Amino acid sequence: MRHPIAAALRALALALLLSTPAAAAGTDSGARAPASSLTGVVNVNSATAEELSLLPGVGPAKAAAIIRYRTEHGAFKRVEDLSQVKGIGEKQVEKLRPHVALEGKTTAQPAKAAGK
């Protein structure tokens, strides 16, 4: 005879697993879902505050800080230079790296939801 509590716990665990954002987005359950879905890149040397806000973990305050730093110190020469901006550490630089360009056009767009 199976234990009814064990079956209930398995059902609860399955329900929790299926309700996570990664499962809802259809991504591999072993990988974390990105903080934001973004296609293309943002040129941090020419982007507007609105464009910078497309980057994962960058809101209006950090976008303003990036622009302020860029105005005071000139263009970013390396992606790592973003860690000099107040509020951006090494971990965030690594999250931003795939989405950042230092030259060329900003091509970033929010990724379209699956099925649309």
Q: Residues 53-84: pLDDT tens digits?
A: 999 999 999 999 999 999 999 999 999 999 99
| Structure confidence at residue 37 (pLDDT) | 77
| Structure confidence at residue 88 (pLDDT) | 95
Asked whether residue 105 is assigned to any structural domain, the reply reads yes
Asked whether residue 92 is assigned to any structural domain, the reply reads yes
CATH number where 92 lies: 1.10.150.320
Residue 95 has pLDDT above 50, yes or no: yes
Asked whether residue 57 is assigned to any structural domain, the reply reads yes
| Structure confidence at residue 107 (pLDDT) | 94
Asked whether residue 55 is assigned to any structural domain, the reply reads yes
Expressed as residue numbers, the domain containing 73 is 38-110
Q: Residues 19-58: pLDDT tens digits?
A: 544 434 443 333 333 445 788 999 999 999 999 999 999 9
Residue 29 phi, psi dihedral angles, 5° rounding: -65, -15
Asked whether residue 97 is assigned to any structural domain, the reply reads yes
Asked whether residue 46 is assigned to any structural domain, the reply reads yes
Report the pLDDT averaged over residues 92-110: 94
* Residue 81 neighbours by CB distance under 10 Å: 18
Residue 3 has pLDDT above 80, yes or no: no
Q: Give the whole-angstrom CA distance, residue 92 versus residue 3.
A: 46
- Which residues in 1-116 belong to E strands, given as ranges? 38-39, 42-43, 100-101, 109-110
What domain count does the chain have? 1
**Radius of gyration, CA atoms only, the chain:** 20
Q: Residues 4-19: pLDDT tens digits?
A: 676 665 665 555 555 5
